Structure 1
């Protein structure tokens, strides 16, 4: 049977795939096209191609939200949070896998259970606790919160991947005189690269685009305003500057979109490898 022959069924599936892709890409078209329109043109016909390209929308947004400062805030918060999440999650997962005990099993169950708790049910308690601990309005406060909320899923991913790492490599390192930290950072940690990249991508996408947690923890500290929070400046009680808001959205999502496209293949690779148990 010749399986390489092009069949009508394949043609129909390709057409459906193209139509589905166009449906998913339509929001990107609307955001990009309306980001270079005037407000009047957006209100008249949001789906049309721009009659006049208002590129000055981007320069207005640059000045209105102090884009360099907001970009730096988002970048620093994201980088610091992701570094701590990767470091602490990998060490915690390694300890749980290689040192099986009732306590470690309970900790792992506790972390996995935390993934099903809605964030909205914790907001009031989060505001109260961060105020008591004097974490609100501080860089280390928002990073600590992201570390706490990001560890459950990250530990779960690392836990599955570490099971596939041969234990014989660690035993050989111990025979050579390596201490536990040397075994982890010199032998195990480099082997975790696929899942590390996956954890970095997933947490970076979440932290960079997050709006609610910065609003709750950063509060009124304008020096730490992130891009998602800064863009909301164009939405007031009585007016909505859609032309500037959409231009701001494009400027905010472009860096993370390029980051995701450059590393997206590692997501499937890391999650697939993490599902294999040794």
Structure 2
């Protein structure tokens, strides 16, 4: 053996990453399995979206068509172009003044939201900030109220409102609708308040603020996401309610919300679709616009109190 061969460096094998893959070996594409798993989810989402959008499409497109076009092809576009004639007739329908229906419904929405915040906010603050068992039991009591359908309470409430002379009045209906919003509002508010540090309350107490002032000046401004969520949900509930205003207000009160007014307007013309579809469209259009602009507040408010800071 020569000196040159002794000093020569040993032969090295190339690192594994430099070795080309075997000819014809399986090379899985990146994210291939994940993509295949996502196809059923996408199909499910598309099916749910179509299930919800198709009725809305039928409502919108038929509101601008003539009777014969609706009967011939309810899913097709207007044969002679869209017409606004039937939408204009809704505002002159003798069975229902839709402008007055908007005004009455908005009045109920504002009153219910104001009373709900004024009552549910302080109650949730006391429950969330107290460790006593009786307040926890009170929370369970309010939570149980979310599982009781409002239709079950209508008959007992009618007797109570008659006793106090509030049957068929705006005050009676607003009080009943407000009570229906309290269980879920208190539950949601209490969960959110629990995420707000108690040190803020202690600092306010050092400055001489009482519990009510601490809540309205310190805690309540921090609750804007969850309050916005409850205002939106309460608005949907009051706007879409049909049974409660129909029974509590009654035909003799002369007050029609949007839903009861639509029933009065189309009940005699149930086969005249040039009355049914435009009236229904104008009844739900404000709520759809409201939802489009406020939907992000619903998601942020429901998830804001899910984690404790």
Relative to the length of structure 2, the TM-score reads 0.82
SS in 1 for 2:208: coil
CA distance in 2, matches of 1:62, 1:151: 35
CA distance in 1, matches of 2:181, 2:44: 36
After superposing on structure 2, the runs of 4+ consecutive aligned residues of structure 1 that deviate more than 4 Å are 1-16
Matched with 1:167 is 198
CA distance in 2, matches of 1:22, 1:109: 39
Structure 1 residues 106 and 20, CA, compared in 2 at 3 Å: closer, same or farther? closer
Most deviating of 85-94 and 46-55: 46-55
CA distance in 1, matches of 2:268, 2:228: 41
The 5 A counterparts of 1:32-51 are 32-51=60-79
Structure 1 residues 3 and 49, CA, compared in 2 at 3 Å: closer, same or farther? same
The size of the alignment, in residue pairs, is 278
Higher relative contact order (CA 8 A, sep 6+): 1
CA distance in 1, matches of 2:120, 2:255: 26
Asked whether 1:249 is paired with 2:286, we answer no
Most deviating of 262-271 and 15-24: 15-24
CA distance in 2, matches of 1:224, 1:262: 29
SS in 1 for 2:143: helix
Matched with 2:21 is none
Matched with 1:78 is 109
- Cα RMSD after superposing both structures: 2.4
Asked whether 1:183 is paired with 2:214, we answer yes
Structure 1 residue runs without a partner (length 5+): none
Displacement of 1:41: 3.0
CA distance in 2, matches of 1:180, 1:203: 27
Structure 2 residue runs without a partner (length 5+): 1-28
Asked whether 1:128 is paired with 2:159, we answer yes
Larger radius of gyration: 2
CA distance in 1, matches of 2:35, 2:127: 51
Asked whether 1:264 is paired with 2:295, we answer yes
Displacement of 1:44: 3.3
Q: Whose helix fraction is larger, Structure 1's or Structure 2's?
A: 1
